[in-house]
Structure 1
Amino acid sequence: MAHTRPLTACLSRLTKSSIAASRLEAPRFAAIPYQTKRCAATKAQPQEKKKKSRNTFLQYDLKRADQFALLDAMRYIRAFEVGRMPTSSKYELHVRIRTLKNGPIIRGFGQLPHPFKTDVRVCVFAAPGSAAAAEAWAAGAALVGEDEIFDQIKQDVIEFDRCICHIDSFPKMIKARLERKLGPRSLLPNAKQKTVVTQVGPSVKSLLGGSGYKERDGVIHMAVGHLGFTPEELQTNVKAFMLWVQRDMRKLGDKLRKEVHEVVLSSTNAPGFSLTGEYRGANSIAPKELRGPL
């Protein structure tokens, strides 16, 4: 029988060599350095810059707009209003202003050279039964009184468009604390706006024949006549209103400068027509043709 020790030795050498060879052939993966890992990270996307919001109202270029003389604008507006009563529709003027969004606004009141009937309701704070109350009723006021009207205002029942106060009723109005109700509506009487008066009658008549205006979003709007007006009457009212606006802009001073950008004439049922500032154009019709029924 052969000896088993040499065979065992050969098998042991074969096993060791094969294991060593397998170890040499096995692939090895090197550890990735920390610096390589960090550089392989994705780059941060650049953040978009936020657009600055405008502090002025957007105005379009008037060179691209069709503009009309006053007679031409009246002619087209009357064509849109054909078949209506001359006093049922009103001419409306819109003045677009170059101004800051958060700047002071223009507001005022005036009586046009050619007033026209409006539906303005005037309230007068005056003691019932007094001479001032009788004068207010005679002048055409819609509401006259003190405590009863104060209670209605506190209950948000405000059925008037203009409000004045007799000087004797002013302390009582202050005690009623109507600032939160009338202040936001620009109806609270005060001496600065000349709505606290000693003579009620003339003030009521001027309010009934006058018109108020206020700047909203860079535009001042006001009715300047009805369709029965002649071109000369409408021109006079437009000039008067523009003088008021320019006067109010000058009061603000140079630090808060406002400028007129565009003036548009429209009516109750007609679109707006941008005005050139001229009364008559090269191809305008005669003013006498814009008088009388539509």
Structure 2
Amino acid sequence: MAKLTKKQKEAHGKIDKNKFYSVEEASALVKEITNTKFDSSVELAVRLGVDPRKANQMVRGVVTLPHGTGKDVKVLALVTPDKEAEAKEAGADFVGLDEYLDKIKNGWTDVDVIITMPSVMGKLGPLGRILGPRGLMPNPKTGTVTMDVAKAVAEVKAGKIDFKVDKTGIVHAAIGKVSFTADMIAENANELLDTLMKLKPSASKGIYVKTIFMSSTMSPSVALDPKVV
């Protein structure tokens, strides 16, 4: 096991391993124990008492974080010519159709979110092997397949994220940056946790939220009280 640096030891020393922190306490502590020279992302990892292999226990949703993610989200709008102007006005970084389909076919995926229209989805089907593993395939459930392209682009740019429980039963989501105030981090975290609670599958029995950890890109994790949600 690699030795901890002096700063890493100091960070670990500030965390009480026998304590569950409130969202507000954890938000302030993560800021305090992060020593990176860059603006680290702050993340939540929530372990759920679900079996993601069963369709009726899959947890997936979208949430608009009150303060955004702090990240400049690159959006590709795959739209017909009549929708190009509104997509550009709403802030899409890349707008077009066939030329971008060809680029993706050749391996280009330098975007964070793809928004498209129902009529275009048929053209995206063959690109599922490229887009699927990267989480880029548009989906009506997350609002990325819509006729209201301008609204979808604006929401993503403002801090709308989608999340999905992984095969181990954990939801990972970035909820801001260390440069945010502790209050901003806490408000974003609470918004995500509130949304997760509303998505509890009826087929899920027993404890729904098992553990919650908050951390930044290179900080140790801080345990939150799962009973607070």
Q: TM-score, normalised by structure 2?
A: 0.76
Distance 1:172 1:222, change over 3 A: closer
Per-residue displacement from partner, 1:178-223 (whole Å, max 9, x unpaired)?
3333334443334343322222222111112222222222211112
The equivalent of 2:132 in structure 1 is 183
Give, in whole Å, the separation in 2 of the partners of 1:231 and 1:75.
5
Kindly indicate whether the alpha-carbon contact (under 8 Å) linking 1:103 and 1:256 is maintained by their aligned counterparts in 2.
no
Distance 1:183 1:225, change over 3 A: closer
Larger displacement relative to structure 2 (206-215 or 67-76): 67-76
Give, in whole Å, the separation in 2 of the partners of 1:193 and 1:68.
31
The equivalent of 2:27 in structure 1 is 74
The answer to whether structure 1 residue 214 and structure 2 residue 178 are counterparts is no
Give, in whole Å, the separation in 1 of the partners of 2:179 and 2:131.
35
Counterpart of 1:259, as a letter, is Y
The answer to whether structure 1 residue 122 and structure 2 residue 79 are counterparts is no
Shift of 1:172: 5.9
Counterpart of 1:118, as a letter, is K
Kindly indicate whether the alpha-carbon contact (under 8 Å) linking 2:45 and 2:170 is maintained by their aligned counterparts in 1.
yes
Give, in whole Å, the separation in 1 of the partners of 2:96 and 2:154.
18
SS at match of 1:196: coil
Give, in whole Å, the separation in 1 of the partners of 2:221 and 2:70.
22
Task: Choose which of 177, 184, 187 in structure 2 pairs with 1:233.
Answer: 184
Counterpart of 2:29, as a letter, is Y
The answer to whether structure 1 residue 268 and structure 2 residue 221 are counterparts is no
Shift of 1:73: 2.6
Counterpart of 2:186, as a letter, is Q
Task: Choose which of 116, 128, 139 in structure 2 pairs with 1:165.
Answer: 116
Q: TM-score, normalised by structure 1?
A: 0.61
Task: Choose which of 193, 208, 218 in structure 1 pairs with 2:142.
Answer: 193
Kindly indicate whether the alpha-carbon contact (under 8 Å) linking 1:70 and 1:278 is maintained by their aligned counterparts in 2.
no
Give the CA RMSD over aligned residues.
2.8
Counterpart of 2:110, as a letter, is E
Give, in whole Å, the separation in 2 of the partners of 1:243 and 1:116.
17
Kindly indicate whether the alpha-carbon contact (under 8 Å) linking 2:142 and 2:162 is maintained by their aligned counterparts in 1.
no
SS at match of 1:135: helix
The equivalent of 2:154 in structure 1 is 205
The answer to whether structure 1 residue 113 and structure 2 residue 86 are counterparts is no
The equivalent of 1:93 in structure 2 is 44
Distance 1:257 1:139, change over 3 A: farther
Shift of 1:261: 0.3
Per-residue displacement from partner, 1:124-153 (whole Å, max 9, x unpaired)?
1113xx341122122222221111111122
Q: How many residues align?
A: 208
Per-residue displacement from partner, 1:229-274 (whole Å, max 9, x unpaired)?
333333322221012112222xx32367771101111112211010
Distance 1:82 1:124, change over 3 A: same
Q: Which has the higher contact order (CA 8 A, sep 6+)?
A: 2
SS at match of 1:67: coil
Mapping for residues 245-264 of structure 1, pairs under 5 Å: 245-249=196-200, 252-254=201-203, 259-264=208-213
Aligned-pair identity in percent equals 28
Q: Which runs of 5+ in 1 are unaligned?
A: 1-63, 280-294
Kindly indicate whether the alpha-carbon contact (under 8 Å) linking 1:89 and 1:226 is maintained by their aligned counterparts in 2.
yes
